[in-house]
Each structure stands twice: as structure tokens, then as C-alpha cells.
Structure 1
């Protein structure tokens, strides 16, 4: 029970992720069956659908936009502010991270200087950026495979994976997700100035004035 209490947020989010992924898989499979039936082609099994390039492409298409949003947000909030928002650092507060740290309880890399210390100090943004690039590459390559598969079904020549990087379909899939991520983040930043969520670390205290910046 202690493990559940100490890790409840992560466990709940991962459970929601797993349920959503399963729902994505099963409903996508049903859509694929209907499409195959319309074209007079044999059905595909649910497990076989897991290897379908269209399904894999849509999975990483979504992950790509999320990791882009988080990486951009983490980096922008290090340099830009929105006065009154709980999602922003306070521009009037002293610099929080002075490195190298002289706190003996700080992680070893935080007490050092040099390249390793710089990497440690920027590790979150870098990790999220790497996850974005990896997701984008997987979205791109599997979307190219799906396009090649569709072209073959229609007796057309398929574009190479590299050439598909310039295909409007790939960027249509990406931009339709990116814009929603940036909009939702901007809305959260602004709404957190005026609205509250009791006991949430993502919100200012309920009694805090609207001008208070940071949670």
C-alpha cells in the first residue's frame, strides 16, 4: 500500500495510458476491418493489426506532439515568464539555480562544473527533445510505409522514405496535433492566472491573489 500511495500519480497516469492505447488499438482494428471489407480484401487479425504501419504511425504521431509540447514548454519556462500564472517562474524572485551548488546534499553533478554539469542541468529538456525526435522519426518512417502500402494497392509507384519527408500528408498529420498542444498549453498558462484547483501543485493556492506568479 505504501508503494501505491507514494507512486499513485504515475501509476494512475500509466493505467490511463494503457487503457487509451488498448482502446486505440481495438477501435483502429475495427476501422481497418471495415476498410478491408469495403475493398473486398481478407480481414486482418487483432494481433496482426499491431504490426500495421498505419496503426504504428498514428501511435507515434500522437507521442511526437506530446513530447514536442513538453520539451518546448520546459525550455521556454526557463527563460520566459507570464506574470500571474502558476505555470511561470516569478520574474521578481532571485535566481533559483545557482551552480555549482555548495549544498552537501545536492546530487554530485550539481556540485560540479563543466560539460557533465551542464548536461545534468539541462537533462530534462534534452531528454524530452530526444523523445520528440525519436517519436517523429518513427511516425515519419511508418507513415511512409503506410503510404507505400497504399500506393502498391493502387498499382502506383511508392515514394522512398526520404522523399516522403517532403510529403504534405506527413506534415498534415504532425501540424494538426502540434497546434492543439500549443493551444492547450497557452490556455493553461492564462487560465492559471485567474482560476484555481484546490490542493493541486499545478495551481496557485486558492486564496492567492491573481498577481502571484508561480505555484
Structure 2
């Protein structure tokens, strides 16, 4: 029970993720079979659908926009601040911070992660590991989206007697960037709103909000 309590936030979102992916699979299958029946084609099963390009392109399209959002936000909050927002460091704290502030090298604590206590490549990798992983997941999901997307586009082109596109042609096509930018703009809007709204609005008890009585111009870090 202690492990469940200590990891409740992660487990909640993992459960929600799995539930929505399963829901997307079954709803998407129903939609796909409706389209097939309209064209007088045989319906397909769940196994065939979840391994299809049409399912993969929708799944990876959402993933890449989410991880891009966090990659940009993590990178931007190193150097940029928003006074009064709990999503930002306080003014004057811009930058990567000193070794003493970051508890690395000789300033590491006894219980600090092992790679925080060393110097060189391992320390650099660990110091930037969150940004690196977010960036890699974004790139891999973007690649998956583009590979599945060109397959779907070519299937549709074949139905209309049109020529197939190469991957290079697809990733510079209006169709690809129309789908991609629709997702990106919504993610950037959501993050921008969270940063700005949290200056003036509160949610008592949430780690994403300042304490209710904290002045609007003060971040939660400054109030501690």
C-alpha cells in the first residue's frame, strides 16, 4: 500500500493512458469498419486494426506533439522566466545554476544519484537526461507518424488511381504539416495558458498552483 500511495500520480496517469488507448482502438475499429462497409469491403478485426498504419499515425501524431511540448517547455524554463508563475523560476535564477545549487560533483549529497557525484560525460548526460529523453521520444514518434502517414496517404492515393509518394515527398507535403501544426499549436496554447493563468488563479492543494494567499507577483519558489 505504501508503494501505491508513493506512486499514485504516476499510476493514475498510466491507467488513464492505457484506458484511452484501448478506447481509441475499439472506437477507431468501429469507425474503420463503417468506412469499409460503405465501400462494400469486408470488416477487419481488432488485431489487424491496431497494427495498421491508420491507427499508428493517429497514435504517434498525438505522442509527438505532447513530447515536443514538454521538450520546449523544459528548455525554455532554463533561461526564461515568468514573474509570479509557479511554472517558472524566480527572476534572477535564469540559467543552468551553479554546481553548488545543483548538488553535483563535490557538492553532491551522500544520497545524491551516483552520476551526480562524478565529472565528465556522465555528469553532462545525467544533467541533461530529461531534455534528451523528451527530445528522443519526440523524434521517434514524429518519425513513426511520418512513416505511417505516408503509408495511409499512398493507400488513399491508390484508391483514386493516383501515384504513390515517397517518404521525402510526404514530409514536405501540405497534408503532413496540416496535421502536424494542428497538434503543435494546441499544445503550445495549453502550456502558455497554464503559465499565465497560474499567476492569478489558484487551486488549493495542487503542486501546480501557488498557495492560495501568495501575492500574484510572487512565484511559489519565492514564497517558500
Q: TM-score range by the shorter chain?
A: over 0.9
Alpha-carbon distance in structure 2 between the residues aligned to 1:101 and 1:18? 42
Cα displacement string for residues 68-111 of structure 1 (whole angstroms, at most 9, x for unaligned residues): 00111011111100000000001245944264352332223222
TM alignment of 1:133-148, pairs within 5 A: 133-148=139-154
Cα 1:138–1:19, aligned 2, differ >3 Å: closer, same or farther? same
Alpha-carbon distance in structure 1 between the residues aligned to 2:60 and 2:109? 42
Q: Quote the residue 1:89 is aligned against.
A: 89
Find the partner of 1:166 among 172, 183, 187.
172
Post-superposition offset of 1:54:
0.9
TM-score after normalising by structure 2? 0.90
Alpha-carbon distance in structure 1 between the residues aligned to 2:113 and 2:206? 27
Q: Quote the residue 1:154 is aligned against.
A: 160
Cα displacement string for residues 123-151 of structure 1 (whole angstroms, at most 9, x for unaligned residues): 10111000000000000000011111112
Cα 1:75–1:93, aligned 2, differ >3 Å: closer, same or farther? closer
- 2:90 maps to 1:115: no
Structure 2 spans left out of the alignment, 5+ residues: none
TM-score after normalising by structure 1? 0.94
> Higher relative contact order at CA 8 Å, sep ≥6: structure 1 or structure 2?
1
Number of corresponding residues: 215
Structure 1 window deviating more from structure 2 (122-131 vs 84-93): it is 84-93
Q: Quote the residue 1:199 is aligned against.
A: 205
- 2:137 maps to 1:131: yes
Alpha-carbon distance in structure 1 between the residues aligned to 2:58 and 2:18? 15
Alpha-carbon distance in structure 2 between the residues aligned to 1:101 and 1:196? 39
